[in-house]
Amino acid sequence: MNVVQLPVAKLVARQPQALQDPDWLRWSLVTIAVCFIGLFICLPLGLVIVKAFSKGLEAYWAALAEPDTLAALRLTLLTAAVTVPLNTIFGVAAAWAVTRFDFKGKSLLTTLIDLPFSVSPVISGLIFVLLFGAEGWFGSWLIEHDIKIIFATPGIILATLFITFPFVARQLIPLMQEMGSQEEEAALSLGASGWRTFWSVTLPNIKWALLYGVLLCNARAMGEFGAVSVVSGHIRGLTNTLPLHVEVNYNEYNIVGAFASASILAALAILTLILKTTLEWQQARR
Amino acid sequence: MSQSNIMPGFKLTIGFTVVYLSLVVLIPLSTLVFQSFRLNWEDYVHIISNKRVLSSFRVSFTAALIASLIASFFGFIVAWVLVRYEFFGKRIFHALIDFPFALPTAVAGIVLATIFQPSGLLGKLLIDTFGVQVAFKPLGIVMALIFISIPFVVRTVEPVLLEFEASMEEAGASLGATRLQVFNKIIFPNVFPALLTGFALAFARGVGEYGSVIFIAGNLPYVSEIVPLLIVTKLEQFDIEGATAIALTMLVISFLLLFLINLLQYWVRKRSGQL
Kindly report the nearest CA distance between residue B273 and chain A, in angstroms: 22
Instruction: Say what the pLDDT of residue B258 is.
Output: 78
Looking at beta carbons, which residues of chain B come within 8 Å of A19? 166, 169-170, 173, 179, 182
Give the closest residue to A161 by CA, choosing from A107, A67, A212, A85: A85
Choose the mutation target among B103, B256, B257 for the interface with A, i.e. most A CBs under 10 Å.
B103
**Do B107 and B5 share a structural domain?**
no
Residue environment code for A141-156, b if the CB has 16+ CB neighbours within 10 A, otherwise e: ebeeeeeebbbbbebb
A51 touching chain B per CB within 8 A: yes
**Do B66 and B28 share a structural domain?**
no
Residue environment code for B179-204, b if the CB has 16+ CB neighbours within 10 A, otherwise e: beebbeebbeebbbbbbbbbbbbbbb
**Do B93 and B18 share a structural domain?**
no
Flag if A103 and B14 touch (Cβ within 8 Å): yes
Residue extents of the structural domains in chain A: 19-52, 53-285
**Do B110 and B16 share a structural domain?**
no
A109 touching chain B per CB within 8 A: yes
Kindly report the nearest CA distance between residue B255 and chain A, in angstroms: 8
Strands (E) in chain B, as ranges, are none
* Amino acid at position B213, single letter: V
Q: What is the dihedral of CA A198, A201, A207, A208, to 10 degrees?
A: -150
Looking at beta carbons, which residues of chain B come within 8 Å of A128? 28
A residues 156..195 contacting B (CB < 8 A):
158, 161-162, 165, 181, 184-185, 188-189, 193-194
Q: What is the dihedral of CA A37, A39, A44, A45, to 10 degrees?
A: 40
Q: What is the dihedral of CA B34, B40, B41, B46, to 10 degrees?
A: -110
CATH of the domain at B179: 1.10.3720.10
Q: pLDDT below 50 — which residues of chain A?
A: 1-6, 11-12, 14
Give the closest residue to A221 by CA, choosing from A266, A271, A162: A162
What does pTM read for this prediction? 0.89
Q: What are phi and psi of B33, to 5 degrees?
A: -70, -50
Flag if B112 and A44 touch (Cβ within 8 Å): yes
Instruction: Say what the pLDDT of residue B25 is.
Output: 95
**Do B6 and B100 share a structural domain?**
no
Task: List all residues 6 or more positions away from A78 whose beta carbon is below 8 Å from its beta carbon.
Answer: A153, A157
Instruction: Say what the pLDDT of residue A230 is.
Output: 93
Report the domain count for chain B: 2
Kindly report the nearest CA distance between residue B54 and chain A, in angstroms: 18
Q: From CA A20, how far away is CA B151, in angstroms rounded? A: 26
Residue A66 DSSP class: S
Looking at beta carbons, which residues of chain A come within 8 Å of B207? 120
Angle of the A203-223 helix axis to the A255-285 helix axis, nearest 10:
170
**Do B81 and B53 share a structural domain?**
yes
Q: What are phi and psi of B38, to 5 degrees?
A: -70, -20
Do B197 and B152 touch, CB atoms closer than 8 A? no
Could you tell me how far CA A160 lies from the centroid of its own chain?
11
**Do B56 and B5 share a structural domain?**
no
Instruction: Say what the pLDDT of residue A63 is.
Output: 76
User: Residue B28's domain spans which residues?
Assistant: 1-37
Question: What's the CATH superfamily of A53-285?
Answer: MetI-like (1.10.3720.10)
CB neighbourhood size of A247 (10 A) = 24
Q: pLDDT below 50 — which residues of chain B?
A: 1-3
Looking at beta carbons, which residues of chain B come within 8 Å of A27? none
Instruction: Say what the pLDDT of residue B2 is.
Output: 45
Residue A141 DSSP class: H
**Do B197 and B82 share a structural domain?**
yes
Give the closest residue to B109 by CA, choosing from B203, B211, B205: B211
Instruction: Say what the pLDDT of residue B164 is.
Output: 81
Exposed, middle or buried by CB within 10 Å (0-12, 13-18, 19+), for A13?
A: exposed
A277 touching chain B per CB within 8 A: yes
**Do B25 and B91 share a structural domain?**
no
* Backbone φ/ψ region at B8: left (φ over 0), alpha (ψ -120 to 50), beta: beta
Do A188 and A202 touch, CB atoms closer than 8 A? no
**Do B163 and B139 share a structural domain?**
yes
Flag if B85 and A26 touch (Cβ within 8 Å): yes
On the CB side of A276, CA atoms within 13 Å amount to: 25
Do B208 and B64 touch, CB atoms closer than 8 A? no
Give the closest residue to B249 by CA, choosing from B39, B67, B25: B39
Angle of the A255-285 helix axis to the A242-251 helix axis, nearest 10:
140
Flag if A118 and B204 touch (Cβ within 8 Å): yes
**Do B26 and B157 share a structural domain?**
no
Residue A42 DSSP class: I
Flag if A184 and B7 touch (Cβ within 8 Å): yes
What does chain A come to in residues?
286
